[in-house]
């Protein structure tokens, strides 16, 4: 079964891409249905109070996350299986992130190895996202390998003790094609059953608790960022257990039905941590103004998941992803200017 098109026709890649919805429509049209459904699985409105007659002739979009400067407050979230979108997979993602001067969080479930990702973009700013498996030796090895390869942060995903029910994947009988592997986990598990997203069923460890933060700290000097926090109670626990960052995330809506939108959970988390750790947001970013809203509500940076995959599908590699990031950068800068560079918002129920 073919999961990506080796080369889209040039006239299709030359079409005008004005906003991220153009990339979404392109990816939906030209990716095979099984790949599109995997990526796509998944009602308040935030309004600005813009200020006028403020000098916005000089705007600086740069920021720092955990002390490292990025060109603007948009990074690339951890998503798996990038070779479903383009042949070079995560290597293309790493090159695009380096070219655009931002952070890329590489997934445990990458179709390129950590070594390949690091070699593809030497000196790039990268964090590594970890799922803890029942075989703790596998997780230990990955953490230590990431640190040795120069990754600068460890992102623990907290919201996946079990894989959520993803109906389109069930209908499609989703499996990785034979030529595609989870490179970081090759040889890590016994047996031949790889029916759960390229891994044996129930390989994730559902017994993970807050105390495992201490276990991770014993393995690495990397700062630990926890991903999947949606409540003030868990935000407080994260701070108490010594994490350096929190990613407010609902796993792209792919886990618990009825979980809040991340933008709605953001304020609660920001208020709970009171500046003690950095807070980031993952999910729902489609425009530069979305980035500005998240920052106005207290996020230090946002991370994009699906839009990065749409970009990889367009032009089959890093060039399309760079286009996505450029559009977000330009829209974000324009939104800053039109809002008077004063990030004050209010929520209005629709």
- Is 107 a known ligand-binding residue? yes
Look up residue 203 and give its two tokens.
């390989």
**Residues 87, 84: Cα–Cα separation, whole Å:** 8
Give the whole-angstrom CA distance, residue 303 versus residue 281. Answer: 6
On whether 228 is known to bind a ligand per the annotation, the reply is: no
**Beta bridge pairs of residue 63:** 70
Does 78 appear as a known binding residue? yes
User: Of the residues 82, 133, 251, 329, which is catalytic?
Assistant: 251
Q: Is 240 annotated as a binding residue?
A: no
305 marked as part of a ligand binding site: yes
Angle between helix axes 306-313 and 318-338 (nearest 10 degrees) is: 130
The answer to whether the beta carbons of residues 20 and 287 sit under 8 Å apart is yes
**Dist. CA 93–CA 96, nearest whole Å:** 5
Residue 129 among known ligand-binding residues: yes
**11 part of the active site:** no
The answer to whether the beta carbons of residues 41 and 329 sit under 8 Å apart is no
Going from the C-alpha of 188 to that of each of 8, 139, 179, the distances in angstroms are 35, 10, 18
* Distance of alpha carbon 153 from alpha carbon 312, whole angstroms: 24
Question: Binding site annotation covers 254?
Answer: yes
Q: Is 276 annotated as a binding residue?
A: no
> Measured between alpha carbons, how far is residue 62 from residues 100, 127, 267, 300, 308 in Å?
12, 19, 23, 11, 20
140 is in an annotated binding site: no
Q: Is 110 exposed, middle or buried (0-12, 13-18, 19+ CB in 10 A)?
A: buried
Q: Is 47 annotated in some ligand binding site? A: no
214 labeled part of a ligand binding site: no
- Annotated binding-site residue? 166: yes
Residue 282, marked binder: yes
Q: Is 131 marked within a binding site? A: yes
Binding annotation: 78-80, 107, 129, 131, 157, 166, 227, 249, 251, 254, 282-286, 305-306
Q: Annotated binding residues for FMN, as ranges?
A: 78-80, 107, 129, 157, 227, 249, 282-286, 305-306
Give me the active site residues, please. Answer: 251
Residues in the annotated binding site for glyoxylate:
131, 166, 251, 254
């Amino acid at each position: 079964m073919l999961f990506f098109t080796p080369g889209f026709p040039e006239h299709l890649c030359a079409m005008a891409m004005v906003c991220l919805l153009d990339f979404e429509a392109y990816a939906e049209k030209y990716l095979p249905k099984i790949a599109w459904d995997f990526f796509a699985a998944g009602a308040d409105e935030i309004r600005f109070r813009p200020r006028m007659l403020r000098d916005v002739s000089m705007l600086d979009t740069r920021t720092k996350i955990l002390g490292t400067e990025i060109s603007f407050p948009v990074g690339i979230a951890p998503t798996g299986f990038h070779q479903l979108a383009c042949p070079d997979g995560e290597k293309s993602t790493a090159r695009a992130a380096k070219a655009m001067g931002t952070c890329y969080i590489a997934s445990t479930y990458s179709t390129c190895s950590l070594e390949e990702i690091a070699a593809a973009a030497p000196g790039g700013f990268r964090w590594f996202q970890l799922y803890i498996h029942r075989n703790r030796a596998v997780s230990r090895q990955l953490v230590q390998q990431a640190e040795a390869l120069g990754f600068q942060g460890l992102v623990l995903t907290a919201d996946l003790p079990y894989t959520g029910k993803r109906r389109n994947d069930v209908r499609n009988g989703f499996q990785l094609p034979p030529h595609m592997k989870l490179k970081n986990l090759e040889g890590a598990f016994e047996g031949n059953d790889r029916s759960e997203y390229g891994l044996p069923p129930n390989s994730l460890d559902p017994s993970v608790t807050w105390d495992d933060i201490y276990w991770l700290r014993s393995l690495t000097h990397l700062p630990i960022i926890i991903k999947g926090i949606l409540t003030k109670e868990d935000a407080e626990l994260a701070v108490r257990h010594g994490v350096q960052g929190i990613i407010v995330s609902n796993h792209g809506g792919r886990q618990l039905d009825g979980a809040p939108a991340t933008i709605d959970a953001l304020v609660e988390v920001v208020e709970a941590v009171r500046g003690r750790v950095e807070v980031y947001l993952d999910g729902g970013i489609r425009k530069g103004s979305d980035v500005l809203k998240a920052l106005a509500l207290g996020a230090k940076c946002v991370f994009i998941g699906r839009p990065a995959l749409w970009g990889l599908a367009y032009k089959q590699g890093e060039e399309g992803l760079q286009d996505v990031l450029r559009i977000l950068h330009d829209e974000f800068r324009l939104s800053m200017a039109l809002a008077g560079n004063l990030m004050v918002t209010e929520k209005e129920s629709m």
